[in-house]
Amino acid sequence: MKNSQSVRQSVMESYAAIVSSDSPACCEPGVQKGVAVKKAGYDEADLASLPEDAVVNSFGCGNPLAFSGVGEGDVVLDLGSGAGIDLLLAAKKVGPSGHVIGVDMTDEMLDRARANIAASGLENIEVRKGLIEELPVDTASVDWVISNCVINLSPEKERVFAEIARVLKPGGHMLISDLVAEELPPDVREDPILLCSCVAGAISEDDYCEGLRRTGLVDVEVRERIKYDVEQLEGVVTSDVDPHVDLDTCCGSTGGSNGRSSLRSRIRDLTDLIWSAKIHARKP
């Protein structure tokens, strides 16, 4: 596996290319940006109230705010906040007396988020550039940490878990939607395309929960699971693929229809091994 910095660089370049492009994802004609959000448990009325750009540039695998208990006056931190869909929804929940912070490492995503925040008219949100392994956030300063299909991309998940525990106030909560996986083949773990599309870096539910417990967090539990069929998983994976990646590289084959079949075949083999989990924890 590449070193941590090169993994982060690959992820950053991939998502910068996706958010900067109006093209469908590579290998899958007709798959448009934003396909994942349609399967992620968001209320249609909530989505309709947001700037369209925040919705179509969402690459999540769940709705981390659903059933979260986020309320008026809370401080919410979103790890890997992207174009801002969860920032905007959280800001409406916490109201004028609350505050929402987004952290992302990709300049293009930060620019999108700032534009979407301005378009929403909400004034209780800010975004900061930084790594989720080294958050630019004060210790014991937030009531809720949320994240949507981002931690799986980190090459240093233990550091992320430690940072979550650090920034939460005593009694604060974490609720994260993320892809988890069981027993992925080694070639999948090493595939740079599947790494950037939230598959290769996914860990098991047990490893996820144990990593959080090791930081001192308690009440760690999986609250919801979203299982994918072949077509749904293909949509999630291909919506996160850099549209400028050459088809040969993206699909690991000679391209054309054979290349698309190769991707389909790989995803079909992984369908029973990957799902979205909503994971909760609390700081005592």
Per-residue pLDDT of the chain (284 residues; tens, 9 = 90+): 458 888 888 778 777 777 776 544 433 333 344 445 444 566 776 677 777 766 666 656 667 887 679 999 999 999 999 999 999 999 999 999 999 999 999 999 999 999 999 999 999 999 999 999 999 999 999 999 999 999 999 999 999 999 999 999 999 999 999 999 988 888 888 877 777 777 888 999 999 999 999 999 999 999 999 898 887 887 777 665 555 544 344 444 333 444 444 666 777 788 889 999 999 999 99
What are 47's two structure tokens? 């989505």
pLDDT of residue 73: 98
What are 72's two structure tokens? 């008026």
pLDDT of residue 266: 74
Q: Are 204 and 267 in contact (CB under 8 A)?
A: no
pLDDT of residue 92: 95
What dihedral angle (degrees, nearest 10) is formed by the CA atoms of 4, 6, 10, 15?
A: 50
Sign of the C-alpha dihedral, residues 210, 215, 219, 222? negative
Considering only CA atoms, which of 50, 59, 62 is closest in space to residue 115?
50
Q: How far apart are CA 250 and CA 35, in angstroms?
A: 19
Domains of the chain and CATH, by start: 4-282 (3.40.50.150)
Q: How far apart are CA 204 and CA 212, in angstroms?
A: 13
pLDDT of residue 273: 92
pLDDT of residue 216: 98
